[in-house]
Structure 1
């Protein structure tokens, strides 16, 4: 009996050894992501990357610290862009550059909207507090501090993110728009005038006739509307508009008193006189618009 019992014990011990040897140890996502990030830094010879002081898992590099004002505080409003790229794939999934992040408080920049959902990414705020206005930083985010195992939109599961943050020196959207318009005009070699409203314009043909255009006029116009990257978002060879309430505020501000029938104008309109923070359709919020316009008819 004792022999038989000893045999059972030996058999049980053997099974334990077998099952133990078959058990596979899986690394945590923290370990996997950390190894990928450190390998990425080494393979790409990236210097100046440091791990966050709390060792939550992200690495960052202040590329340019910025030159305007003191270090940013949570209570400061900030205009900035963020470009989210797959660390290993190199695919840029999305960028906030099109709307300049709507003048958030620094303390709220950890909240990012993408694909209809909101994500909490504290690394953005934490790194931004080490910068001044006009600065740039690069952050390597492990997946568990970014979009997680579920991913988001085109971002796959457990994707580490290579994030670039650029803060603008401007303190208001109006200042930013004006600086960007001036840079656009200069880069294109355009000869344009700045109206007191903030609109830049050039008149290639003033038009003729006795009927003036006022804010209350109804006009028929041929026009093309573009973004500053050249993308055409709207055009017509003959569209009728009421200038008061029927078009964006920029048209109402700049057309009356400057054109007659047959008049032609190019106008670059700051976002506050276009579709503002909300945008419209395919036009993101805080977008500068570039129009060519010809007045075909005027009705008062």
Structure 2
């Protein structure tokens, strides 16, 4: 009996030693990510600050911004963001150059997965760092995978991918003010002569038209048009004289300016602030908060 007990005891001790040895070889994702981030910081000679709560991320204030006070949770933050793989340098996605993102400072923890629809994850580090900036400031955040897209990854971001995130804020706290600045910079850069409508859309008429039917919101129009972003990228165009629509179904910038200014044969250029175009929601390939540039020709007018 004693002999059997001793054999059992030794076997149990052996298993304990084996499992203990395995446990020592195992490293948590927090440890693994932490080592990779520290190696990255050292290799690139970065001067970064550790999260005060020591949750695992590091950040660097690139530019502090302007003004006398940092953002607070109730401020509207207008910003662009880019997401890269920390080790491989792959740019997974970035805010469109033609537009920007916007949210309240207290809700800056939301990070989408890409420019396509994959939902969003919660990354409180973004909010915590942005609230250390003034408007116009920028920052870099080194995120361990467990504070980013995690073990499952998402879209084209692999499992356990550490993230190098850059965020740049605009000086303005109002989208309307930002749009107006961007439009005026565009006008100056291109030496344009434009008139500002009371609804903040800018326009220039190259031909008022020769028709006799006045255009109203209920008019059925045949239109040639080309729509561009302010960087010159064409996002939509129809110049075959085949696009027929009722003016009331179009974006607000068209509805506000065209009635009373053009007839059949008229030509106009519109620089439309984002809230008079597709606004916060965007539409199709047009991103949220995009300011748009349209050339429009009225081919025909029908009033029923």
Which TM-score applies when normalising by structure 2?
0.86
The Cα offsets for residues 108-159 of structure 1, whole Å up to 9 and x where unpaired, read as: 1112233432311010111111111111111111111111111111111111
When residues 67 and 18 of structure 1 are mapped into structure 2, their CA distance, relative to the original with a 3 A threshold, is closer
- Provide the C-alpha distance between the structure 2 equivalents of 1:253 and 1:241, rounded to a whole number of angstroms: 16
Structure 1's 131 and 242: CA in aligned 2 closer, same or farther, altered over 3 A?
Answer: same
More displaced 10-residue stretch of structure 1: 182-191 or 150-159: 182-191
For 1:231 and 1:71, locate their aligned partners in 2 and report how far apart those are by CA, in whole Å: 35
Distance 1:266 1:12, change over 3 A: same
* Worse-superposed segment, 5-14 or 145-154: 5-14
Which segment drifts farther, 253-262 or 32-41? 253-262
Aligned runs of 1:1-300 on 2, under 5 Å? Answer: 12=11, 19=18, 23=22, 25-47=25-47, 49-97=48-96, 100-102=100-102, 104-114=103-113, 115-236=117-238, 237-238=240-241, 239-243=243-247, 245-300=248-303
Aligned-residue offset at 1:187: 3.4
Residue 189 of structure 1: how far off its partner (Å): 3.9
Cα drift, residue 213 of structure 1: 2.6
What is the Cα deviation at residue 215 of structure 1?
3.5
TM superposition outliers: structure 1 runs of 4+ over 6 Å? 4-7
Q: How far apart are the structure 2 equivalents of 1:171 and 1:11? A: 71
* SS of the residue 2:101 aligns to: helix
The count of corresponding residues between Structure 1 and Structure 2 is 296
Cα distance in 1 for partners of 2:34, 2:280 equals 38
Deviation string, structure 1 residues 39-89 (Cα, Å, up to 9, x no partner)? 212222223x11111111111111111103411112222222221111122
Distance 1:6 1:125 in 2: 61
Q: Classify 1:94/1:8 alpha carbon distance in 2 versus 1 (closer, same or farther; 3 Å).
A: same
CA displacement at 1:8 relative to structure 2:
5.2
More divergent stretch after superposition (210-219 vs 53-62):
210-219
Segments of structure 2 that go 5 or more residues without pairing to the other structure are none
- TM-score, normalized by length of structure 1? 0.87
The gaps in structure 1 that reach 5 residues or longer are: none
